[in-house]
């Protein structure tokens, strides 16, 4: 199974939290795509094509799941775009919000994100949720990829 890990990269603590999610996935045997590690940051306007192609075309290839850091006062434009792209492609998302209850974050998470994303409140809860997900399998009759739950 492959998980795309999405979130803001503006502060050291944001990067550190994404890397904690990565380590959790690694412990569970889940392959990860971590944009700042696997593609690197955007260093200027001339770099946007490289970042888009790396993050989206490479990162979402064979992706079974998106794990999203929802902490902070806003999700971030790139993260919100990645969530919408995953939803449109039928890739499930799990959000993690540890800094406050989801019911208090409606204004900046939005009803759309809350309704379309399973949201957990700790790394321990994320681990439990990840253990319930089975790897994607190909439906031979329809050619549709599914992500069955146990």
Domain boundaries, the chain: 2-146
pLDDT of amino acid 92: 95
Task: Please tell me the distance from the alpha carbon of residue 25 to that of residue 2, in angstroms, as a whole number.
Answer: 9
> What CA–CA distances, in Å, run from 129 to 11, 41, 63, 96, 149?
27, 29, 17, 11, 10
pLDDT of amino acid 135: 66
User: Per-residue pLDDT for the chain (150 aa), expressed as one digit of tens each?
Assistant: 999 999 999 899 999 999 999 999 999 999 999 999 999 988 999 999 999 999 999 999 999 999 999 999 889 999 999 999 999 999 999 999 999 999 999 888 999 999 999 999 999 999 999 999 876 654 433 443 444 433
pLDDT of amino acid 145: 42
- Domain 2-146 adopts which CATH fold? Rossmann fold (3.40.50)
pLDDT of amino acid 72: 92
> What CA–CA distances, in Å, run from 126 to 30, 77, 130?
13, 23, 6
Strands 144-146 and 137-139: antiparallel
pTM of the model: 0.87
pLDDT of amino acid 137: 53
Burial track 39-74 (b if 16+ CB lie within 10 A, e otherwise): beebeeeeeeeebeebbbeebbeebbbbbbbbbbee
- Do the beta carbons of residue 69 and residue 96 sit within 8 Å? yes
Residue-level length of the chain: 150
């Amino acid at each position: 199974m492959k998980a795309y890990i999405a979130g803001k990269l503006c502060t050291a603590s944001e990067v550190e939290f994404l890397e904690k999610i990565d380590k959790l996935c690694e412990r569970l045997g889940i392959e990860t795509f971590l944009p700042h590690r696997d593609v690197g940051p955007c260093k200027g306007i001339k770099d946007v094509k490289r970042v888009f192609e790396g993050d989206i075309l490479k990162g979402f290839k064979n992706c079974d799941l998106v794990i999203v850091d929802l902490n902070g006062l806003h999700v971030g434009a790139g993260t919100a775009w990645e969530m919408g792209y995953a939803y449109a492609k039928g890739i499930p998302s799990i959000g993690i919000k540890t800094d406050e209850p989801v019911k208090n974050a409606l204004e900046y998470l939005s009803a759309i994100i809350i309704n379309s994303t399973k949201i957990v409140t700790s790394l321990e809860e994320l681990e439990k949720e990840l253990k319930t997900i089975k790897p994607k399998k190909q439906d031979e009759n329809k050619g549709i990829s599914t992500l069955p739950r146990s």
